[in-house]
């Protein structure tokens, strides 16, 4: 397993370099040229096809580099690029500092820009920060493997490098919720409070019924990276490293992957002491009905539904100062985008409470 992991991360590291498509294409063309040199009819035919294939790959690889360069010129980073372990991480901080500073973390392995609307709304009232994890947004790809434990440390280093000072209120959605909960467990002295927006409960990875969609997501990230590397990306200049980073960290989201990182990644009951924590979740499985599709009968469907609904509230046990807030009726897991005003209101309420406490 460890050897397989090393091989996979070496592959991710290679494919994450936007220039990697060029040598791959040249190798393919070189192999084709060697076959043509054999002289046999079958070798000439196969070699000719391989050379042509290499030429197509090279054309796509060059196109990708042109698109990435153009996107970089047209969309410069709006924030600061700070050094974290020899790599650049993008931090956008806006708003007046009235304390505590709010740090947003979107779900999946999305860039901070995914929460730009929420950030802009809140920055009009208090200090608000967006951070692009390595391999997303304007940040560098960074080292492999990508892990939640590593990204928790990187996030804190980026905030420090950008000159942002504690106390912080971290707001994380889905996989980003798991990340900020890890930050709080590691450095409770820097954290004034947490707002967890339907955070990923790791029980749903370790003990849930098989989820082909989750496994498919990881394959999809890698396929997207390869498509981008060779210019098959529908006119987008997206970097191949983004898909590779997501594919790497999503290795944790499997029973075997979680078993290897559980102690460093799971936030257990009581781990957050009496840290103020607001857990924001939908009341039902609106928008997530696909988890019931594989049920064999109504009894199993009820069990699956109960499992996911109960696992959603597990973070309440992480702190003695946790409280539950339900999202508006009819909203699902993607509620930060469905009802942004509601989310900003929840965060503002906690910030006001913490300001009163600190006086």
Phi, psi of 5 (to 5 degrees): -65, -40
Q: Show Cβ contacts of residue 12 under 8 Å, excluding neighbours closer than 6 positions.
A: 144, 145, 244, 245, 247, 248
Q: What topology is assigned to 80-202+266-358 in CATH? A: Rossmann fold (3.40.50)
Rounded to whole angstroms, how far apart are CA atoms 288 and 312?
13
- Structure letter (DSSP) for residue 171: E
Question: Distances in Å between the alpha carbon of 288 and those of 257, 332, 334?
Answer: 23, 7, 10
Rounded to whole angstroms, how far apart are CA atoms 79 and 111?
13
Residues of the chain within CATH 3.40.50.1820 domain(s) are 80-202+266-358
Rounded to whole angstroms, how far apart are CA atoms 50 and 32?
5
Which residues of the chain form beta strands (DSSP E)?
Answer: 80-84, 87-94, 101-105, 128-131, 168-173, 191-197, 277-281, 322-326
Distance of CA 248 to the CA centre of its chain: 10
Contact of 139 with 89, CB cutoff 8 Å = yes
Q: Show Cβ contacts of residue 347 under 8 Å, excluding neighbours closer than 6 positions.
A: 102, 122, 169, 171, 195
Question: Distances in Å between the alpha carbon of 81 and those of 88, 176, 236, 268?
Answer: 5, 21, 23, 34
Contact of 313 with 300, CB cutoff 8 Å = no
One pLDDT digit (tens) per residue for the chain, 359 residues: 455 677 888 888 888 889 999 999 999 999 999 999 998 999 999 999 999 999 999 999 999 899 889 988 999 999 999 999 999 999 999 999 888 999 999 999 999 999 999 999 999 999 999 999 999 999 999 999 999 999 999 999 999 999 999 999 999 999 999 999 999 999 999 999 999 999 998 888 888 877 667 767 878 888 888 888 898 865 445 777 888 999 899 888 888 888 889 899 999 999 999 999 999 999 998 877 777 777 788 888 888 888 889 999 999 999 999 999 999 999 999 999 999 999 999 999 999 999 988 76
pTM: 0.91
Classify 320 as helix, strand or coil: coil
Rounded to whole angstroms, how far apart are CA atoms 324 and 69?
46
- Structure letter (DSSP) for residue 237: -
How crowded is the C-beta side of 309, counted as CA atoms within 13 Å? 14
Rounded to whole angstroms, how far apart are CA atoms 67 and 60?
10
């Amino acid at each position: 397993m460890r050897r397989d992991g090393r091989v996979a991360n070496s592959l991710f590291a290679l494919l994450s370099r936007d220039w990697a498509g060029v040598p791959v294409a040249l190798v393919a063309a070189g192999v084709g040229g060697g076959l043509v040199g054999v002289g046999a009819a079958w070798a000439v035919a196969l070699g000719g096809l391989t050379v042509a294939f290499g030429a197509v790959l090279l054309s796509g690889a060059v196109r990708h580099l042109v698109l990435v360069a153009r996107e970089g010129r047209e969309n410069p980073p709006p924030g600061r690029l700070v050094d974290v372990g020899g790599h650049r991480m993008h931090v956008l901080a806006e708003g007046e500092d009235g304390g505590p500073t709010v740090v947003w973390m979107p779900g999946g392995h999305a860039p901070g820009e995914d929460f730009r609307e929420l950030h802009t709304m809140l920055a009009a009232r208090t200090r608000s920060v967006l951070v692009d994890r390595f391999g997303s947004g304007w940040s560098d790809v960074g080292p492999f493997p990508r892990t939640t434990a590593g990204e928790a440390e990187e996030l804190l280093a980026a905030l420090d490098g950008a000159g942002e000072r504690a106390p912080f209120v971290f707001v994380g959605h889905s996989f980003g919720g798991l990340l900020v909960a890890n930050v709080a467990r590691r450095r409770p002295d820097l954290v004034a409070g947490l707002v967890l927006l339907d955070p990923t409960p790791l029980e749903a990875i370790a003990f849930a019924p098989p989820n082909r969609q989750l496994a498919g997501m990881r394959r999809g990230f890698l396929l997207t990276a390869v498509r981008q590397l060779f210019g098959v990306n529908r006119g987008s200049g997206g970097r191949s490293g983004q898909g590779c980073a997501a594919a790497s960290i999503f290795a944790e989201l499997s029973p075997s992957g979680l078993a290897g990182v559980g102690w460093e990644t799971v936030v257990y009951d009581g781990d957050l002491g009496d840290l103020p924590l607001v857990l924001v979740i939908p009341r039902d499985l609106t928008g997530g009905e696909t988890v019931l599709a594989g049920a064999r009968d109504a009894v199993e469907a009820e069990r699956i539904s109960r499992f996911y609904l109960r696992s959603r509230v597990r973070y309440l046990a992480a702190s003695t100062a946790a409280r539950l807030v339900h999202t508006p009726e009819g909203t699902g897991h993607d509620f930060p985008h469905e009802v942004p005003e509601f989310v900003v209101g929840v965060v503002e309420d906690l910030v006001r409470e913490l300001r009163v406490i600190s006086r």
